[in-house]
Structure formats: structure tokens, C-alpha cells
Amino acid sequence: MSTVVLLTLTGLGLAALYFLIASGLSLVFGLAGVLNFAHGLFLSVGAYAGWFVATHWALGPAIPVGVAAGAATGALVELVVIRPLYRRPTEQVLATVGLSLAGVALLQSIWGADPRSYPRPAWTAHTTGVLGAQVPDDRFLLIGAAVLVLAALLAFLRWTRYGLIIRAGVENRAMVSALGIDVRAAFTLVFTLGGALAGAAGVLGGMYFGSVSPGQGAGLLIFAFIVVVIGGLGSVTGCAVAAVAVGLLQQFVNYYGTSGAGDVSVVALLAVVLLLRPGGVAGKVTA
């Protein structure tokens, strides 16, 4: 029983991380139609910015700085690279591929290819007893952050004017433009938002794994892609459901099966979902 509880909470922690990455990715794809390979770069930039602040100054501001760095990278990429390529979707994907290659190499040239150990708040090293299982507290940090983000994101999409524009844009971009609303401003917004979430995921992921390396973002990105596709492109709740499914499946199969089987089973889940419901779990709706 205690093993199951521990595995569940660890799986949920992983799911929280996937959700933070995938939700931004999903919104960017749903609205702007860009498959953003540079999203892993946003994560790595956020992680390194947080790491820099935490090691040179204090741990407290690491998260806001990481979020801000991720958001700034996202906004910059949209304005400088994506926007001029509007109406050329394949080129946009290719440009983000190039950015992810160049960005990781840039980080590597500054901080080296080897993982750096990531500082973490002292309390995350403790464990809490849940139903007889000793669960490390960093899981709760991740789960709490993800739940908070999910609630905030849903509230933003439902009750603000920009949320409305994003939801409408995912549904029918041409119609929103026809109504005289500048959809491109919303593109910058979702990129900034996605960058901020990825930055948060970078800092929290660094604390969770205990280290950060330039390629970390790209490694997580593949699973985030899988979560996005399973959840249905552009859907935040679908994303959350898919993240939980993927995180739990991966943890449980990795524990009870041979090592690596969890990752493979996630891919199998993707194949099954795509064959049965090509639109993903949620189809194409936001929120």
C-alpha cells in the first residue's frame, strides 16, 4: 500500500512538471499553430536563471526570476523569430528547431555540458507520512504549483478579456481577426505565458531532479509533446488529464516493469490514443 501511495505521489509530481511544460506548449499550438521546439529552451533558460540567482544570491527569488527569464525568452522568440514567419507554418516549426539547437549550444558554451547541482529549499529534503508512506516533500511543491497554475490558467481563460480572445482564437482564428481583434498580440501573450510556465517548470524541475543541464529541457519536451497530443491540442484541462495519465503510467510501469518500460508504455499510450481519437482526449476546445 505504502509503495502504491509513494508511486502515485511521485507520478503526480512528474505529471505536475509535464503539465507546466505542456500547458504552454498546448496554448501556443492551439492558438498560433506553432509546434514549438524552442519550448525546451525556455525551460532551460528559466532553470539556469533560477540557478544563477539561487547560487549567487538567495533561494527565494529563484522562482520569480526563472519565470521572468522564461517569459522574456518566450516573448523575444515570438517577436523576433516567429512573427516575421507568420503564414509560413512549416518555416515556423523549422525556425524553432534551429533555435532549440542554437540555444542549447549557447547555454552549453556559458555553463558547460555537465549537469550543475541545483540548490533547493531545506524543507523539500524532508518527508511526510501519507497513509504509511514516507513521501519526499518536493513532490508536494510540484503538485501544489501545478494545481495553482491550472486554477489560475483556467480562471484567466474564462474570466478575462484576453482569455476570451485566446479561447476564441483557438476555436477559429480567422473569425477573431475578422471581428477586428489583433490576434497577433494574443500570439505574443501565449508565447510569454508559455515561456513563464516553462521557466517555472525549469526551476521546479531543477529542484526536483537536483541538477540542471543544457539538454534537460529538450529531454522533458518530448514527453510534454506526448502529453499535448494525448490531451488534445489547445486544451488546458485535456493537458492536465493527459499529464496525470502519462506521469502515473510512467512511474508505475517503470517500478513494476523493467527500467525504461515506462517510457515505452507512454509512447504506446500515444499510439493507441491517436488511432482511436486522432483529435486527442479533449478534441479541440480550450479550458
User: Residue 59, SS3?
Assistant: coil
Nearest to 118 by CA among 205, 43, 220: 205
Query: Site for another protein (CB under 8 A): which residue of 7, 76, 79, 106?
Result: 106
98 or 283: whose CB is closer to another protein?
A: 98
Is 210 buried (19+), middle (13-18) or exposed (0-12) by CB count in 10 A?
middle
275 binds another protein (CB under 8 A): yes
105 binds another protein (CB under 8 A): yes
Min separation Cβ 195 and another protein, Å:
17
Phi-psi region at 129: left, alpha or beta (left = phi > 0; alpha = psi -120 to 50) = beta
Residue span binding another protein (CB under 8 A) among the ranges 15-23, 29-37, 114-122, 238-246 = 29-37
Nearest to 12 by CA among 206, 202, 145: 145
The three cell numbers locating residue 203: 526551476
154 binds another protein (CB under 8 A): no
Query: Site for another protein (CB under 8 A): which residue of 21, 43, 95, 200?
Result: 95
* 146 in Cβ contact with 20 (< 8 Å): yes
163 or 195: whose CB is closer to another protein?
A: 195
Q: Which residues bind another protein (CB under 8 A)?
A: 29, 35, 37, 81, 84-85, 88, 90-91, 93-95, 97-106, 108-110, 218, 222, 225-226, 229, 233, 259-260, 263-264, 267, 270-271, 274-275, 278
